Amino acid sequence: MYWEKQLETLAHDELKKLQTERLKETLTYAARSPFYKQVFQQKGIRPELIKQPDDIRRLPYTTKQHLRENFPYGFLGAPKQELIRLHSSSGTTGNPTVIFHNRHDIASWANLMARSLYCAGVRDTDVFQNICGYGLFTGGLGFQYGIERLGCLSIPAGAGNSLRQIKLMQDYGTTVVHAIPSYLGRLYEIFQAEGLDPRKDTDLRLFVIGAEPHTEEQRQRIEEMFGVKAYNSFGLSEMNGPGVAFECTEQAGLHIWEDSYLVEILNPDTLEPVPDGEVGELVLTTLDRQAMPLIRYRTRDLTRIIPGTCACGRTHARLDRITGRSDDMFIIKGCNVFPMQIEGVLLKIPEVGADYLITLEQRNGADEMIVDVEVKKDWFNGDITRLDRLTRKITQQIRDEVLAKPIVRLVEPGSIPKSEGKAVRVKDNRTLNTVKL
Ligand code: ADP
Ligand code: ZN
């Protein structure tokens, strides 16, 4: 049932004790870094001040801006010679964010990944195809080390080239796939184009999907298309990457590994903690990282703690599906909208295909939200009244959900441009002339 029974089912009090110890250790490592050394000195922060996990509230926040300003080595809590790997974000706007790891960090991350995969039902008898970019992006190597630690046969397939992916699945009898959800609809279309049915023509049984926001509707579609169970995987590079929080086979929220991360959910405006069950910003502190500990890192991701205990017996808190980052929200015609609200509406409509794109534009001085929606291939038969009816239905349902009326355009399957990596759901052309930081 468990990868590490004792740690995964630790009683609440024991977990708090472990967190307190590890938080103190983390502060000791952090105090060696130029950034935290200065902050701690200014504020009189010492590891001995920590008596319980809640004392975290006396510590300062860390933001992406801090990471960028102290690029590249300002957060190092260990000597450079100890480092064995770095991962970094693309950094199209300014300095990239870079995270360094020593041997301990890589080993504990691999273990967390193995624990996460085991928790979702992956076993060492599985053939695991990782459809994910290898390189500076954490999804490739992060999963790779976990898959090997668990003992599956790993296929480090990399991203893209769908025909090759299908061939790998068939040649080696892949049973588990990890991929970003927005890719899987496209992959299914390639199966269809080849006259193949993944339910019959492969051994697939389990998917791990994550790295980008997606809805319950999206998960259900993936499960039906491929005849698998799909489990949600959450992480961010600043906290290693994948392996921060993962769904167990109950599919009732994502267990966040509290022996390795201290979790806070804060009201993003007041920065006061919100009660369990209420949505706020996820703020995380690493508890088991030496080379680059981060304290109270503001993820910008919005979620809530699901109250109560999980039927699987694990005691680590469960996060609800991440609805997006606070910066994903856009305002149109005075309404606050998250792209996932629109995805939720679209994917409930059976005629809707794999992809969609929201474009925000100024037309005649007014803001407009244009929603391009791919329809399913077998649905379109040239009947204009059918198209018109569907357009009106989608328009009405989006309007009911977000309160702003969109301009809906139905488009052919495959016609929405694909981005490399994570899906781009919103193009905001209103801000073209302004610099977005
Ligand atoms: P970048 O910050 O460049 O996007 P990361 O790979 O670190 O690169 O992305 C982490 C972010 O991706 C998270 O902060 C979150 O916004 C999003 N994310 C990751 N996994 C999920 C998931 N399962 N559900 C929703 N969002 C996710
Ligand atoms: Zn569980």
The dotted CATH code for 5-327 is: 3.40.50.12780
Which pLDDT score is estimated for 91? Answer: 61
Work out the burial of residue 261: count CB atoms within 10 Å of its CB; fewer than 13 is exposed, 13-18 middle, 19 or more buried: buried
Residue ranges for the chain with pLDDT beneath 70:
90-93, 431-437
Which runs of E-coded beta strand occur in 67-214? 83-88, 98-102, 127-130, 153-155, 176-179, 206-210
- Whose atoms come closest to the Cα of 423: which ligand? 1
414's torsion region: left (phi>0), alpha (psi -120 to 50) or beta?
A: left
Which pLDDT score is estimated for 434? Answer: 47
Centre of ligand 2 to C-alpha 245, Å, is: 11
Would you call 264 helix, strand, or coil by DSSP?
Answer: strand
Q: If you ran DSSP here, which 8-state letter would residue 131 be given?
A: -
The radius of gyration computed from the CA coordinates of the chain, to the nearest angstrom, equals 23
- Whose atoms come closest to the Cα of 119: which ligand? 2
Q: 272 Cβ partners below 8 Å, 6+ apart?
A: 266
What's the 3-state SS for 161-174?
CHHHHHHHHHHHCC
Whether the link from the prior residue into 72 is cis, omega within 30° of 0, is: yes
Centre of ligand 2 to C-alpha 318, Å, is: 8
CA angle 163, 231, 262 (to 5 degrees): 130
Ligand 1 pocket (Cβ < 6 Å) reads 89, 138, 210-213, 232-237, 299, 301, 322, 325
Which pLDDT score is estimated for 92? Answer: 61
| Closest-lying ligand 1 atom to the alpha carbon of residue 138 | 6
Which pLDDT score is estimated for 378? Answer: 82
Contact, 35 vs 66, CB < 8 A?
yes
Contact, 418 vs 186, CB < 8 A?
yes
- Whose atoms come closest to the Cα of 140: which ligand? 1
Nearest one of 178, 294, 194, 157 to 247, comparing CA atoms = 178
| Closest-lying ligand 1 atom to the alpha carbon of residue 325 | 16
| Closest-lying ligand 1 atom to the alpha carbon of residue 254 | 23
Which pLDDT score is estimated for 435? Answer: 46
Which runs of E-coded beta strand occur in 269-417? 280-286, 297-303, 305-306, 318-319, 324-325, 330-332, 335-337, 352-363, 366-375, 407-411
Only one residue has tokens 């959900």, namely: 401
| Closest-lying ligand 1 atom to the alpha carbon of residue 237 | 7
Which pLDDT score is estimated for 93? Answer: 62
Which pLDDT score is estimated for 204? Answer: 98
Whole-number Å distance between alpha carbons of 95 and 72: 9
Which runs of E-coded beta strand occur in 22-163? 83-88, 98-102, 127-130, 153-155
Q: Structurally, what CATH architecture does the domain formed by 335-428 represent?
A: 2-Layer Sandwich (3.30)
Whole-number Å distance between alpha carbons of 278 and 270: 14
Q: How far is CA 352 from CA 221, 390, 392, in A?
A: 11, 9, 13
Which pLDDT score is estimated for 275? Answer: 96
| Closest C-alpha residue for ligand 1 atom 5 | 236
Neighbours of ion ligand 2 (CB under 5 A): 248, 250, 310, 312, 314
Which pLDDT score is estimated for 364? Answer: 86
| Closest-lying ligand 1 atom to the alpha carbon of residue 89 | 3
Q: What's phi and psi for 359, nearest 5 deg?
A: -120, 130
Centre of ligand 2 to C-alpha 207, Å, is: 17
Domain ranges of the chain: 5-327, 335-428
- CB count, 10 Å around CB of 425? 20
| Closest C-alpha residue for ligand 1 atom 1 | 89
Contact, 262 vs 199, CB < 8 A?
no
Centre of ligand 1 to C-alpha 379, Å, is: 33
Mutate to test the pocket of ligand 1, among 113, 138, 234 (most ligand atoms within 8 A of CB): 234
Mutate to test the pocket of ligand 1, among 216, 233, 236 (most ligand atoms within 8 A of CB): 236
Which pLDDT score is estimated for 152? Answer: 98
Centre of ligand 2 to C-alpha 242, Å, is: 18
| Closest-lying ligand 1 atom to the alpha carbon of residue 233 | 23
